[in-house]
């Protein structure tokens, strides 16, 4: 039964758990993601007080989904039909509260089961109540049973566990544990406005605990997440939210840009604009921010406007061939579309949405992007290839294949840095608990023409 809407178009769901189930159901069906959660939640009649709880439920269920789903399968005689994904979501929400939240058990059970009424599915109340009460009685036995499956125990899909084990045999388990924790909130100080030290003093004066990042020169990590709009100087462009690993792109491009005033630079897959902004904050360059999605490109424009920066905007497919008469770029940043396996802790619905077959398709796209953009790079120029993936097929193997087929390309990734590990011709960072996300970089230089 579909939820009724008011004449104003506002969803009438006000119950927090029913709202969370409604938001999760398209994610469970592979027809949505958490990326639009705030927008969809704003269209519901959920109180401001409950919105944080709803978001915590949605992210928590996705983060622990492989284990919750295994437990749900033990509790159900038969799975719910696809049209009842919202009821399935309520069962997962109830289990999540019982296992991972400080919600009184009676409330987790009764409120989750009762939320079925708000979804117009009163019939499900008894089913949910029975399943959750059975879990209360048999929790130890059921948990021990499902945890015999290693993938369930580390709360990752089986194909990804195998891929991580193969790629990182000594650290795959620690990597999974890091993925299961929410990532810290990290900021990038706009050094055109102030030094990092000065901004840390502003945070301290505002009672916000923070420390300087270890590797990113402009990075600051908060002890606990904070409302971005309330950060000192955020509205004035003094600071932006950006993970430490992502901030390293500017360091890697520094040799090509530091002494090259007005160098022509292309950020080929720029949305939402964090790396473009960082480059403009740090270097005096002529930057073009491109993205295949015009709507996403508008986010780049908004980011630059808040920071008082300007760039050319180009809505175009970077993998397509270009007119040979177009002036080449001195440097290109290719933050390529990827599996996102390095940022699962920030986008836990990746555990539900990503499939093993996606990696082959993404690798093919990355290959096309590299080949096309190389043609737009000036001789002697630098291309920085980046992904937020930890899988070799998208990273070290991708770059090795490119170098093999591209005679005028040379790997130039530094090895004397204190972050990451050598990965072929690139450098790989793995997600660290209370630290940076997973990221890969490879700096490639185009042979200069000889006269």
Q: Which of 213, 269, 338, 388 is catalytic?
A: 388
Burial 312-347 (b: 16+ CB within 10 A, else e): ebbeeebbeeeeeeeebbbbbbbbbbbbbbbbbbbb
CB 220 within 8 A of CB 187: yes
Residue 444: phi and psi, rounded to 5, are -120, 135
C-alpha span between 364 and 401 (Å, rounded) = 11
Nearest to 432 by CA among 240, 267, 221: 221
C-alpha span between 94 and 61 (Å, rounded) = 10
Indicate the SS3 state at residue 254.
Answer: helix
Residue 73: phi and psi, rounded to 5, are -65, -30
Query: 207: cis peptide before it, omega within 30°?
Result: no
- Alpha helices of 236-380 — where are they, by DSSP H? 244-257, 274-282, 294-307, 350-353, 356-374
CB 11 within 8 A of CB 22: yes
Question: Catalytic residue at 62?
Answer: no
C-alpha span between 183 and 179 (Å, rounded) = 8
CB 358 within 8 A of CB 406: no
Element (DSSP H or E) covering residue 384: strand 377-387
Nearest to 124 by CA among 67, 85, 96: 85
Angstrom distances, CA of residue 424 to CA of 175, 368, 415, 440, 441: 20, 20, 11, 11, 11
CB 156 within 8 A of CB 66: yes
| Catalytic residue IDs | 388
């Amino acid at each position: 039964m579909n939820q009724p809407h008011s004449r104003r178009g506002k969803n009438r769901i006000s119950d927090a758990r029913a709202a969370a189930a409604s938001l999760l159901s398209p994610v469970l069906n592979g027809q949505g993601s958490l990326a639009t959660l705030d927008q969809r939640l704003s269209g519901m009649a959920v109180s401001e007080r409950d919105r944080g709880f709803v978001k915590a439920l949605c992210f928590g269920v996705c983060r622990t989904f492989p284990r919750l789903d295994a437990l749900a399968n033990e509790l159900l005689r038969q799975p719910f039909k696809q049209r009842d994904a919202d009821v399935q979501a309520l069962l997962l929400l109830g289990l999540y509260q019982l296992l991972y939240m400080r919600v009184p058990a009676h409330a987790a059970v009764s409120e989750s089961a009762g939320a079925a009424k708000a979804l117009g599915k009163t019939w499900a109340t008894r089913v949910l109540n029975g399943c959750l009460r059975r879990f209360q009685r048999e929790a130890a036995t059921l948990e021990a049973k499902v945890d015999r499956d290693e993938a369930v125990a580390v709360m990752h899909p089986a194909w990804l566990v195998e891929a991580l084990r193969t790629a990182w045999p000594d650290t795959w388990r620690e990597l999974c544990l890091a993925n299961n924790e929410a990532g810290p909130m990290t900021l990038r100080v706009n050094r055109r406005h102030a030094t990092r030290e000065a901004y840390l003093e502003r945070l301290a004066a505002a009672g916000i605990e923070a420390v300087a990042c270890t590797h990113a020169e402009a990075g600051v990590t908060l002890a606990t997440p904070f409302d971005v709009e309330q950060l000192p100087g955020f509205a004035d462009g003094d600071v932006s939210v950006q993970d430490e690993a992502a901030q390293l792109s500017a360091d890697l491009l520094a040799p090509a840009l530091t002494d090259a005033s007005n160098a022509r630079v292309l950020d080929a897959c720029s949305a939402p604009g964090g790396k473009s902004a960082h480059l403009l904050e740090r270097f005096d360059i002529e930057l073009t921010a491109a993205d295949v999605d015009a709507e996403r490109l508008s986010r780049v424009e908004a980011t630059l406007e808040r920071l008082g920066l300007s760039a050319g905007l180009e809505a175009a497919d970077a993998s397509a061939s270009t007119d040979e008469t177009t002036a080449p770029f001195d440097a290109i940043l290719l933050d390529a579309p990827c599996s996102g396996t390095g940022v699962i802790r920030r986008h836990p619905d990746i555990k539900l949405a990503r499939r093993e077959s996606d990696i082959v398709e993404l690798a093919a796209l990355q290959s096309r992007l590299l080949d096309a953009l190389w043609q737009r790079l000036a001789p002697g120029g630098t291309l920085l290839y980046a992904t937020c993936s930890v899988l070799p097929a998208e990273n070290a193997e991708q770059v090795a294949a490119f170098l093999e087929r591209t005679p005028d390309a040379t790997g130039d990734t530094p090895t004397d840095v204190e972050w990451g590990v050598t990965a072929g011709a690139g450098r790989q960072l793995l997600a660290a608990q209370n630290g940076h996300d997973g990221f890969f970089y490879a700096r490639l230089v185009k042979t200069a023409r000889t006269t």
